[in-house]
Structure 1
Amino acid sequence: MPEPRIRPLALCVFHHAGKILVNVFEDAVTRQTLYRPLGGGIEFGETGSAAIAREIDEELGQPINDIRLLGTLESLFVHDGKPGHEIVLVFDATFADTALYAQPWLDGHESDGARFRAKWCDSSSFSADTPLVPKGLAELLKGLSLLD
């Protein structure tokens, strides 16, 4: 079993009309539904903003503009029965193709080929039972007036 490590992560909060774009997934052990903005790991020698541009291009095939850092979170969690530890750089950006904001969802794929559907959700979608992750993200976004 590999030694546990801290994972550097970049997430992007695309927002429009009081909603943010999130990937909806389920914890296989707890069966809890979770919501998380799009993004992924930061590779060695890569900046966080370059990582988010690369991840969005890989996952959605879409270029982005106006990338800016909103904040940093530290996330200690258990997912699918395994402990995790991430340092999360939270970014804001805009899609070059503004027509994407009018679509109810965007289809994408993970690096392993798994398909997903990212949805535009408002704050009423998130609760203690169906949280926005990582922990602290909802509070960060509310403080910046990006979520109600």
Structure 2
Amino acid sequence: MTTPRIRPLALCIFHHDGKILVNEARDPITEKPFFRPIGGGIEFGETSAQAVVREVQEELGLPITDVRLLGTLESLFTYNGTPGHEIVQVYDAKFVDASVYELSQLDAQESNGAPFIAKWLPWASFTDEAPLVPDGLYELLKKVALLD
């Protein structure tokens, strides 16, 4: 059994025409869907900004620019029956290749090699039954005026 730990995370909000780019996932136990922006763990020795650039490159194979910190969230949650605790640095950025914004979805890959589809979804897609995670992200995006 592993010792519980707080995981540092960096996520990036890509937004265009009232939509944001997210990965849809489901909790294996509850089967409840949720949506999370692109990003992942911050590795020892790298800044959260460096982590978000690396994670986007690893997951989507795309370079980004204009990376700016929007805020920090603390997330306490349960996934697959296990409690989790994350400190999340939330960034805004732009894709270097503007044609990415015209695609409805992008092929992506987790760090473990598992494929996923990143989709552009409108803000109205996120509900209590299918939330945008981590908790507090929707409110943060509203506060910094990224929500339409």
Aligned residue in 2 for 1:49 = 49
Query: For the Cα contact (< 8 Å) 1:122–1:147, is it kept in 2?
Result: no
Structure 2 residue 29 is matched with structure 1 residue 20: no
Q: Give the counterpart letter for 2:71 in structure 1.
A: G
Aligned residue in 1 for 2:66 = 66
Aligned residue in 1 for 2:90 = 90
| Cα distance, 1:142 vs structure 2 | 1.1
| Cα distance, 1:122 vs structure 2 | 1.2
Question: Where do residues 1-148 of structure 1 align in structure 2 (5 Å cutoff)?
Answer: 1-148=1-148
Partner secondary structure for residue 37 of structure 1: strand
**Whole-angstrom CA distance in 1 between matches of 2:115 and 2:84:** 23
Query: For the Cα contact (< 8 Å) 1:75–1:134, is it kept in 2?
Result: yes
**Whole-angstrom CA distance in 2 between matches of 1:18 and 1:96:** 19
| Cα distance, 1:145 vs structure 2 | 1.9
**Whole-angstrom CA distance in 2 between matches of 1:81 and 1:92:** 31
**Whole-angstrom CA distance in 2 between matches of 1:123 and 1:12:** 16
Q: Give the counterpart letter for 2:82 in structure 1.
A: K
**Whole-angstrom CA distance in 2 between matches of 1:122 and 1:139:** 15
**Whole-angstrom CA distance in 2 between matches of 1:23 and 1:146:** 18
Q: TM-score, normalised by structure 1?
A: 0.98
Determine what percentage of the aligned residue pairs are the same residue: 61
Q: TM-score, normalised by structure 2?
A: 0.98
**Whole-angstrom CA distance in 2 between matches of 1:49 and 1:106:** 22
Structure 1 outlier segments of 4+, above 2 Å: none
Matched length = 148
- Unmatched segments (≥5 aa) in structure 1: none
Q: CA RMSD in A?
A: 0.6
**Whole-angstrom CA distance in 2 between matches of 1:14 and 1:90:** 11
**Whole-angstrom CA distance in 2 between matches of 1:146 and 1:107:** 25
Partner secondary structure for residue 139 of structure 2: helix
